[in-house]
Structure formats: structure tokens, C-alpha cells
Chains A and B, each alone.
Chain A
Amino acid sequence: MKNRLSFLLSPWSVLTGMLVGIIIGLNFTGLVPYIEPVGKIYLSVLKMCVIPILASAVVTSIGKLVNSQHKSSYIRKLILVFVILLFAISTISVIIGVGSQIFYDIDIETQKTIGEIAIDSNKGAVEGTVVPGTVIREINSQINQSDDSGQYRLIDFIINIVPENIFKALAEDENLQVIFFFLIFGIMMKFISSEATATIMTFFDGVFMAFQSLIKIIMYLLPFGLAALVAAQFSQIGFPVLISLVQFILIIYFAAALIFIIITIIIWQKSNKGYFEQLKAVGETLLISLGTRNSFAAIPSSITALSEELDFDSDTVNLSVPLGVSLCRFGNVMVFSLGAVFASQLYGYSLGIEEYMIIVIVSVLAGMATSGAPGIIARTMIGMVLTPLGIPAAAIIALLLAIDPVIDPITTVINIYPNLGAAAIIARKESSLG
């Protein structure tokens, strides 16, 4: 693979690309319209590869698993690792949230800023979309005319996992439904003839390899693609309103940094590689998730990093990474836990150990529920955590939406990175799936 262009694959080149993007976005906004299309095309190519890779990875790994001997212990381990990680991240976030309260108070200026954001969230609402986090609403005094479509409940999440039409799910980027479909498809490998299984496996193996190869080729262009994407992002961020919210943003970044370090240590311990060597291997994945803010776009490179560069068992990686990224939104869990603790402080609620337990548990559920929901709705799901505590959600939802441009890159990283840790834990111990 060594050639004259291989320097472009180095994380340093990618990082340089992002820095150039930041500089262009902040200082040379006139250039942004010219390079923005490059970023859009690059992101589209990345996303284009996601579903073929996701589908083929899940079908082949499940297909092999159901015909292997160790499947029940493997599945138990898979579920256990994800559940433990989810609750660990939620707990860490709550502890950080509570701990940070020692260092600062929410002053009246912060309250006013959040109030302004909440009022303005009405204006920001795109026509036709329901933003539940609004503090000014128009209603009829006699009859309830709202259709409650803004309410997203946990049960909707479960109902929505099952696609009624797989092509609709594919066309509408319903990744959870796509995963569900191919999981079932993979499980069916147990019930068909071995020749038929072999044909299907060969086909999906081919799809997988074809798109992984495409991903490898376009990785040479990653520094340029990210430069363009990042430039477009930075040209749109408005900072002034965020100054009095900087404490909350810093807490989120601090929690993310801590989770990042823990996961890095896990992968390092499990991979038997040097510390910097393994960081270099996952660097590309991290930079893609930072730059694209799209955790699915980082799936192909995660799989490559884990199975090719860190030598983890590819069948395990092929199953656990797509599954984890689709279902376990660790970054959203983190934001919900921190946001709920922040909300309790903002409203002057003193919480007991039971309430903190509720935050830990419901944040995990709400975080998982975001995987079936589109962008804005995902952030509003903090309402699920706040409602049982009796804390008003509207202002906090507006706050999360307002700081979204600033926290989205880091939450995307935390959405994907613990999945690499999970894969490392599961893969090492089950390296022979037979």
C-alpha cells in the first residue's frame, strides 16, 4: 500500500486539512461557496458506502455466528458489554455534572441567555416542523387542536425499529430499520441450505470488499474533503450568544475528554499495540466523525482500523460496530445526563440518589431512542429524562439546540468511539468464532 501519496493518509495530513478548513471558515468566508460543494460531494460519497458496508457486514457476521457453536455466550457478551458501557458513560456524566456544580453557580445572566434562546427557538423553527421546545405556543382555549406529533415516546422508538418496507427504510436513511432487516436476514442463514448460505455470503462478502476498497481510495482525499466541510461549518457558527453558556459547554467537553481517555486505554490494553500506534490507527475514524459530524460515515473507517490495523477479529468487529453505532448513542447519553443535571441546577431542584439513578437509567434509554429519530427530534428527547423528575424541558431543549453546532462534533466522536472500545473488549475474548 505504500506509494507516493500515502502521506495523505496520515492523521497529521487530515488534521492539517481540518485546520485549513477552520482558517478558511473563519477568515476567508468568501471562499466558502466555492469549496463547500467539494465537502458535500465528499460526505455524500462516504455516506453512499455506509449502507452497503453496514448491510453486508451485519449479514456476513450474523450468518457466520448463527452457524457457529459459541453463539449464545457471544451474544450474551455482546449485550453485556454494550449495556455496561452505556450505564458507565451515563454514570460518569452524572458524576461530572454534579461535581462541576461545586465550581460554579448559574447566575442571572446565564438564566437570561437561556431564556432568550428559548424565546428565539420559536423563530428558528423551520416551517412545518414541530419543535416541542417552545415556550410561546398558540392554542385554542376550548379544544386541543395539536396532534401531539411533537411528542416522541419510547414506545414509538420500539415500534419504529421494524421497517414495513425495506426499500423505504433504505431510501430514507432509517439505519436502525436497515440494521434490523439485515440482522433478521443474517439469522435466516441458519434455516436455508448450506449452498444457498454460501452464495449469499459470497455475494455480501463481495459487496463488503468492494465498498471497503472504495473507502480506502477516497481516504486519500480525506484532508481535502474535511477542509471543505469544516470551512462550511465554521463559517456559520455564531459565537456571541454562547459566552455565558461556556461553562456548560466546557463541562460537556470535559466529560467527553474523560470518556475518550478511558476508551483509549481500553483499546490500547486489548490491542497489544503501542499507545501511539493504536491512536494513529483510530485517528482517521475520530477525525472523520469530528469533521463530518456523522457517526455512520465513520463506520467503514472504524471497521478498517479495528480489523486491519489493530488485528481484531473481523467477524466480531463487523457485527458489533454497525450494531453499536446504530443503537448505542453514547454521545447522546452523555449529553442527556449532563443536561439533566444542569437543568436540575438551573431550576434549583435538589436531587437525591434516587433521582440521580433515574437520570442515569432514563438517559441511557433516551439516548438509545435517539438512534431512530432525526436530528432536531433527537435533542428534544432529553424531555424523557426531565419529565419523570418534574423539571420543565422546553428551555433545556432550546439550549441544546442552540449549542448544537459547538457540541455536535464532540458528541459524534463519543457516539462512535466507545463502540470501538466495545468491539475491542468483545473481539479479544472471542477471537475464534469457529
Chain B
Amino acid sequence: MKLRVITILLLVLLISILINSPVFSESSEIELPAEMEKMFFKNKITVGIYSGERPPFFMENEEGELYGLDIELARGIADELGLALEINREADSYQELFEMLVNEEFDMVISKFSRTFSRSKAINYSIPYASFRWSLMLNSSYAAQKGITEYPMHYLKEVSDIKVGVMAGTSWENFAEDLFGKGEIVGYDDWQHVLDALRRKEIIAALYDENEVIKSIYKDPDIALFSTVYILEDKKDDIALAVPASSSHFLSWLNFYLENYDISYTVNELRNKFPEVYK
């Protein structure tokens, strides 16, 4: 009887020593912030990417494998954290992508995601890892007929009977409205449709980012015949990582990561890194 009591006491002692020993207590003693805890518990990081392609950010190669700047970035972050990478491409629009992030269905979004004030109300953005200036394409026949030879902005801001084409359902609709208060903003589902409309003079100008404009002009150089590209040096579209509003600690970790590896791309740097996209 006495022996049993001693044995139990010894066992209790042993267990309490084991539990309190440094070997077993590390993870419980330093408590990770909730969002980090969640990722380490799953042992993976879930990154949301829009279901379409946005070369050179994410696109498929000939074997159908996803690659691009955003994929490299996601992989680099997962490796740095020592976690597995899971890519979720269920979002069929940027609005859906945004809503899924708000609902914390991903840990983060890396999807050529532009920083905007309205999205910032509900989610956290990192510092930009790529930055493009706004680019205005102007039908050059129209410009020549209206006598616009050098600077088009005064004319475009003042007249009301102009149509400006943008990608429907993107922040470019708002950007264009801010820039051309009086003109009519026309949304298209596809950038190629915007270009076709510009060529047919259905719209006289188009607004998009430097990257897409430069990409299409190198792909179809005849665009240079019917349009002039004005890069607006004071208007920037910042591409950043996004995390849910609650993930403020993960956000600072991501900013540290971007700063540490000096990740900040311009169009020219992307052209050098992914030359095949700009051909």
C-alpha cells in the first residue's frame, strides 16, 4: 500500500518534471499570435490567387503548371516560415477574392492585388512589392483630328463627349472616374476588347496599368500605330500582399520579409525577369 502511494507520487513528480522541462514546454511558454498559431497548427499556409491568369504574376506554362512572380513570392514566404504551401484558386473575380479574404478563407492573398482605400477598410495590405504607373492610351487618329499633339490631359478632363474604356469590375473604373470626371467610363470584360474598341474608335482612350499596356504593345506592335501611350508618372498602382484585418502580426512579418529581400519590381525589371510574357 505504502509502496503504491510512493510509486504514484513519484510518477506525478516525474510527469510534472517532464511537463515543466524546457524540452516540452517551449511551444506553450511563448504564445504565438492567433493567425500564426493557426498556420503552424495546420502546418501549411493557404494563399488565395484569382482563378484567371495575370502574367507575369501568375500564369500556366506549357505543362499546365502555375508559375510567375506571385508564385515565387508565395513559395519563398512558405519556405521562410517552414510551412507547406497551399494555393486556393476558387475566386472567380477579384471581388470574390476580396470577400474570401475578409472571411478568412485564406491566410493571405498574393494575386496582383492592387492597394485601394476601399479594400483597405476591411483587410490589411503590406508594403508594395511591385509598382506600376497608370497608363493612358489615346487613339492617335482622334488626337490628330482634335489637334492634340503633346499634352492630352487638359482636353480629356474638360470635354464630356468622350468615352474611356477600362476593365469592368476592377478598381480602374473608379480610377478613370476620378481622372476624367466628365467623360463616360465604359467597362469591358477583357483587356483585348478594350484594345479592339480603342482601335475602332468606339472609345477614344483606355486606362490601365503600365504593365498591361506595355505587355500588349510589345505583343501587338501595330497598337503603336493607332494609339499613343501616356504613362502618368504621378499616378501609381501599388501591388501588395493582403492579409485579413485580424492578421496584424503576420502583416508586419510580411513587411519585414519584403524589406529584407528588397522585393520591389518595376515594369522593366519584370520584363527582364519574364521576357517571354512581353513578346
What residues on A are CB-neighbors of B145 within 8 Å? 390
Instruction: State whether A395 touches B141 (Cβ < 8 A).
Output: no
Q: Which of B144, B153, B217, B229 contacts A141 (CB 8 A)?
A: B153
What residues on A are CB-neighbors of B217 within 8 Å? 115, 119, 135-136
B220 interfacial by beta-carbon distance below 8 Å: yes
Instruction: State whether B228 touches A137 (Cβ < 8 A).
Output: yes
Q: Which one of A2-10, A142-150, A163-171 is at the B interface?
A: A142-150
Q: Which of B133, B143, B149, B179 contacts A151 (CB 8 A)?
A: B149
What residues on A are CB-neighbors of B220 within 8 Å? 112, 115
B38 interfacial by beta-carbon distance below 8 Å: no
Residue-wise, chain B 223-251 has the 8 Å CB interface mask toward A (1 for contact) of 11111111111110000000000000000
What residues on A are CB-neighbors of B224 within 8 Å? 114-116, 118-119, 135, 394-395
Most buried by B among A146, A346, A383, A394: A394
- Report the minimal beta-carbon distance from A241 to chain B, rounded to whole angstroms: 11
A347–B134 CA distance with the chains assembled, in angstroms: 27
Q: Which of B133, B141, B221, B227 contacts A347 (CB 8 A)?
A: B141
A136–B231 CA distance with the chains assembled, in angstroms: 7
Instruction: State whether A139 touches B140 (Cβ < 8 A).
Output: no
What residues on A are CB-neighbors of B141 within 8 Å? 347, 390-392
A113–B134 CA distance with the chains assembled, in angstroms: 26
- Report the minimal beta-carbon distance from B6 to chain A, rounded to whole angstroms: 85
- Report the minimal beta-carbon distance from B183 to chain A, rounded to whole angstroms: 14
What residues on A are CB-neighbors of B150 within 8 Å? 144, 146, 148, 150-151
Residue-wise, chain B 126-167 has the 8 Å CB interface mask toward A (1 for contact) of 000000011000001101110101111110000000000000
Instruction: State whether A115 touches B149 (Cβ < 8 A).
Output: no
Q: Is the interface of B mostly helix, strand, loop or mixed?
A: mixed
Within 8 A of B (CB), among A115-155: 115-116, 118-119, 135-142, 144, 146, 148, 150-151
Instruction: State whether A392 touches B144 (Cβ < 8 A).
Output: yes
Given A144-B154, A390-B144, also A111-B233 (CB < 8 A): no
B67 interfacial by beta-carbon distance below 8 Å: no
Instruction: State whether B134 touches A141 (Cβ < 8 A).
Output: yes
A137–B141 CA distance with the chains assembled, in angstroms: 17
Most buried by B among A111, A139, A141, A393: A141
- Report the minimal beta-carbon distance from B206 to chain A, rounded to whole angstroms: 14
What residues on A are CB-neighbors of B179 within 8 Å? 141
A353 interfacial by beta-carbon distance below 8 Å: no
Instruction: State whether A387 touches B222 (Cβ < 8 A).
Output: no
Instruction: State whether B147 touches A387 (Cβ < 8 A).
Output: yes
B256 interfacial by beta-carbon distance below 8 Å: no
A146–B134 CA distance with the chains assembled, in angstroms: 18
B257 interfacial by beta-carbon distance below 8 Å: no
Instruction: State whether B231 touches A115 (Cβ < 8 A).
Output: no
What residues on A are CB-neighbors of B24 within 8 Å? none
- Report the minimal beta-carbon distance from A190 to chain B, rounded to whole angstroms: 45
Instruction: State whether B144 touches A387 (Cβ < 8 A).
Output: yes
B253 interfacial by beta-carbon distance below 8 Å: no
Instruction: State whether B231 touches A142 (Cβ < 8 A).
Output: no
- Report the minimal beta-carbon distance from A3 to chain B, rounded to whole angstroms: 58
A54 interfacial by beta-carbon distance below 8 Å: no
Instruction: State whether B221 touches A119 (Cβ < 8 A).
Output: yes
A1 interfacial by beta-carbon distance below 8 Å: no
Instruction: State whether A346 touches B225 (Cβ < 8 A).
Output: yes
Within 8 A of B (CB), among A88-123: 108, 111-116, 118-119
What residues on A are CB-neighbors of B221 within 8 Å? 112-116, 118-119
- Report the minimal beta-carbon distance from A202 to chain B, rounded to whole angstroms: 52
What residues on B are CB-neighbors of A390 within 8 Å? 141, 144-145
Instruction: State whether A119 touches B151 (Cβ < 8 A).
Output: no
> Considering only CB atoms, which chain B residue lies closest to A140 in the complex?
B234
What residues on B are CB-neighbors of A144 within 8 Å? 150-151, 153-154
What residues on B are CB-neighbors of A111 within 8 Å? 222, 225
Residue-wise, chain A 377-417 has the 8 Å CB interface mask toward B (1 for contact) of 00000010011001111110000000000000000000000
A136–B137 CA distance with the chains assembled, in angstroms: 9
What residues on B are CB-neighbors of A142 within 8 Å? 153, 234
Most buried by A among B179, B218, B228, B231: B228
A136–B135 CA distance with the chains assembled, in angstroms: 10
- Report the minimal beta-carbon distance from A245 to chain B, rounded to whole angstroms: 13
Instruction: State whether A141 touches B234 (Cβ < 8 A).
Output: yes
Instruction: State whether A386 touches B235 (Cβ < 8 A).
Output: no
Given A116-B221, A392-B140, A395-B224, also A138-B147 (CB < 8 A): no
A383–B150 CA distance with the chains assembled, in angstroms: 12
A347–B222 CA distance with the chains assembled, in angstroms: 11
Q: Which of B134, B149, B214 contacts A387 (CB 8 A)?
A: B149
Q: Which of B144, B151, B226 contacts A139 (CB 8 A)?
A: B151
Instruction: State whether B225 touches A118 (Cβ < 8 A).
Output: yes
Instruction: State whether A115 touches B223 (Cβ < 8 A).
Output: yes
> Considering only CB atoms, which chain A residue lies closest to B235 in the complex?
A141
Instruction: State whether B234 touches A137 (Cβ < 8 A).
Output: no
What residues on B are CB-neighbors of A137 within 8 Å? 228-231
- Report the minimal beta-carbon distance from A335 to chain B, rounded to whole angstroms: 19
- Report the minimal beta-carbon distance from A434 to chain B, rounded to whole angstroms: 51
A395–B221 CA distance with the chains assembled, in angstroms: 11
A142–B153 CA distance with the chains assembled, in angstroms: 7
A81–B171 CA distance with the chains assembled, in angstroms: 64
A390–B201 CA distance with the chains assembled, in angstroms: 14
Residue-wise, chain B 62-106 has the 8 Å CB interface mask toward A (1 for contact) of 000000000000000000000000000000000000000000000
4 nearest CB pairs, A to B: A115-B221, A392-B140, A390-B145, A115-B224
Q: Which residue numbers of A lie inside 8 Å of B, CB to CB?
A: 108, 111-116, 118-119, 135-142, 144, 146, 148, 150-151, 346-347, 383, 386-387, 390-395
Q: Which residue numbers of B lie inside 8 Å of A, CB to CB?
A: 133-134, 140-141, 143-145, 147, 149-154, 179, 214, 217-218, 220-235
Known: A346-B225, A390-B141, A392-B143. 16 other contacts (CB 8 A): A112-B222, A113-B221, A114-B225, A115-B217, A135-B140, A135-B217, A135-B224, A135-B227, A136-B217, A136-B229, A138-B233, A139-B153, A144-B154, A150-B150, A392-B140, A392-B225
Q: Sample 21 A-B pairs with CB under 8 A, ordered by A number.
A: A114-B222, A116-B221, A116-B224, A135-B217, A135-B229, A136-B214, A137-B228, A138-B231, A139-B152, A139-B232, A141-B134, A141-B179, A141-B234, A144-B150, A144-B153, A151-B149, A347-B226, A383-B149, A392-B140, A392-B144, A392-B226
